[in-house]
Amino acid sequence: MTTIAFIDTETTSLHYNRRAWEIAVILRRPNQPDHEQSWLIEHQDLDLGNADLQSLRFGGFYDRHPQIFPAEGMERLHREGDALFAVEQLTRGSIVMGSNPSFDAEVLGARMRAHGICPSWHYHLEDVPTLALGWLYGSGKPLPEVRKSEQISLACGVDPAQYARHTALGDCRWTRDLYDAVTGGGLPS
């Protein structure tokens, strides 16, 4: 059986040179409970000169990053290279899943390579809302009028509003639960 990794990032922008300031992974291995881990990247590693304000606001950077807004989370604060090394180790050989996982894999892979780390997850990423849409088609259930991930999730019985959306771990939990709702949980063989 295959290992899967639900991944999400909160980033400094949508541009190609973006940086992930928050990273989360939920790892599902055969015959083991899910393992959740998340990292916040230290301010000096973020290159905020290339950030865009809308992306920072969308992910709650100014409200949640402990070096900007002192609060909880200092124990998750890491240098970028250290966090990326840990992400590579956790995801090695796994199938990466998420909501638009190519966005997350692109930023993580680029920054891993900048630190001399080779991303080693499986080359085929899986978009959970697209998988859920296929499940809706196959089940004969009504399709949402708007084909956005939130509406697809609601049509599958998973309310995204019940999660800490636009936080890396909250979005990982949401996509994991959506995956479980449409596949019955478990791992692909």
pLDDT tens digits, 73-104: 678 889 999 999 999 999 999 999 999 999 99
Its CATH architecture, for the domain 4-129+137-183, is 2-Layer Sandwich (3.30)
Dmax over CA atoms of the chain, in Å, equals: 51
What pLDDT, in 10s, does the model give residues 4-38?
A: 999 999 999 999 999 999 999 999 999 999 999 99
User: Amino acid letter at 94?
Assistant: S
Q: What is the DSSP letter of 6?
A: E
Q: What is the DSSP letter of 124?
A: -
Of 148, 187, 167, 138, the C-alpha closest to 34 is: 187
DSSP-based helix, strand, coil % in the chain, nearest 5:
45, 15, 40
Q: What is the pLDDT of residue 2?
A: 87
Q: How far apart are CA 174 and CA 87, in angstroms?
A: 19
Domain ranges, ordered by start, for the chain: 4-129+137-183
Please count the other Cβ atoms lying within 10 Å of the Cβ belonging to residue 114.
12
The mean pLDDT value for 163-174 works out to 97
